[in-house]
Chain A
Amino acid sequence: MTDNSSDFELVKSFISGDESAFNKIISKYQQKIYWHARRMSGNHLDADEIVQEVLLVMYNKLKDFKFQSSLYTWIYRITATRSINFLKKRNLRKIFSLDDNEVRSVKSGSDIISDLEKKEKWERLEKVLQKISSTQREVFIMRSFDELSYDEIAEITGKSVGGLKANYFHAMKKIMELMKKDE
Chain B
Amino acid sequence: MSNKDKIILYIDGHMGRAEREEFESDLRVSKELSDELGRYRDFLSRLKELEDIPVEEDYFVNMAPNFRSRLRKKRKAGYLSKLALGATTAAALKIVALFFFKENRVNNVPVLQNVISQMNSSDVNSLLNSYSDQINLNDLTQDDQASYDSVLNSMIYKELQVSPNAISSLAGDNSDLSTMFKGVDQKEVDLVYNEILHKRIY
Residue ranges of A at the interface with B (Cβ–Cβ < 8 Å): 23, 26-27, 30-31, 34, 51-52, 55-56, 59, 112-115, 118-119, 121-122, 125, 143-145, 165, 168-169, 172-173, 175-176, 179-180
Contact = CB atoms under 8 A, between A and B. Distances in A.
Given A52-B70, A121-B46, A172-B8, A113 B53 contact: yes
Contacts of A169: 5, 8-9, 12
Task: Tell me the dominant secondary structure on chain A's binding face.
Answer: helix
Interface stretch (B57-65, B81-89, B192-200): B57-65
A55 to B, nearest CB: 5
A173 B5 contact: yes
A172 B4 CA distance: 10
Contact of A179 (B43, B68, B74): B43
B53 A118 contact: yes
A121 B49 contact: yes
B54 A118 contact: yes
B40 to A, nearest CB: 6
Contacts of A179: 43
A176 B44 CA distance: 10
B111 interface: no
A173 B47 contact: no
B150 to A, nearest CB: 66
Nearest to B40: A176
Contacts of A59: 67, 71
Contacts of A26: 63-64, 67
B50 A121 contact: yes
A176 B8 CA distance: 10
A88 B199 CA distance: 90
A172 B37 CA distance: 13
10 contacts: A51-B63, A113-B55, A115-B53, A121-B50, A125-B50, A143-B12, A169-B8, A173-B8, A175-B43, A176-B40
Contacts of B68: 23
Given A165-B14, A168-B12, A179-B43, A115 B54 contact: yes
B56 interface: yes
Contacts of B63: 26, 30, 34, 51, 55
